[in-house]
Amino acid sequence: AQTAKVLEARQKNRSRYLPSFDRCTIYNVINKYGTAAEERINKMEKKEQLYEGKAKKVFATDDPDLVIVSYKDDATAFNGLKKGTISGKGVINNKMTNYMFGLLEKAGVPTHLVKELNDRETLVKKVSIVPLEVIVRNVAAGSFSKKLGIEEGTKLLCPTLEFSYKNDDLGDPFINDYYALALGLA
């Protein structure tokens, strides 16, 4: 009975971050609103910038429920203390992200993806983010190398998985899976 209560509380906490998924993919939009919706999406205009982070910019659109995410070529390390530019990084991030969201959608996991607009930009459902950063590493780099004294570029024996609480004021502190569960982030 206690486990059921914990699971119920966790689901309740999680639901505050999840969007309503009735319009998440372009296919759902077309099914619900017809082909005129597809034409509207294809003509969606990028309006004022709503947000800029280390890796992306978010822009308003004609539709208050949809935003355009534009991926940047900026690269940061050590929580933004070290900055640089990697040509084409934004394009790769956009393609990788959309590929992953496509896999999730095919597996029946709804996402906020609507349509990839071009190599760098994607139209998505406006959502409240889950303030959790998931970091997967196959090669030692950045804070991982510094924290453990491992030379950058060292191939790891297996991928590592790290979580951090997305909060710039706190320096995006590392958390473990129990913290994520306790905070209702997972």
Same domain, 107 and 181: no
Same domain, 108 and 29: yes
Q: Is residue 117 a contact partner of residue 70, using CB atoms and an 8 Å limit?
A: no
- Please indicate, yes or no, whether the overall pTM of this predicted structure exceeds 0.75: no
Residues above pLDDT 70, as percent of the chain: 77
Same domain, 58 and 98: yes
Looking at the DSSP bridge assignments, the partners of residue 70 are: 57, 121
Same domain, 114 and 184: no
Report the amino acid identity of residue 154. Answer: T
Give me the sheet containing 174-175, strands edge to edge.
132-139, 155-165, 174-175
Residues above pLDDT 90, as percent of the chain: 48
Mean per-residue pLDDT of the chain:
82
The mean pLDDT value for 181-185 works out to 90
CATH number (domain holding residue 79): 3.30.200.20
Same domain, 87 and 46: yes
Q: Is residue 135 a contact partner of residue 162, using CB atoms and an 8 Å limit?
A: yes
Domain count for the chain: 2
Please indicate whether residue 46 or residue 1 has the higher confidence score (pLDDT).
46
Q: Is residue 61 a contact partner of residue 43, using CB atoms and an 8 Å limit?
A: no
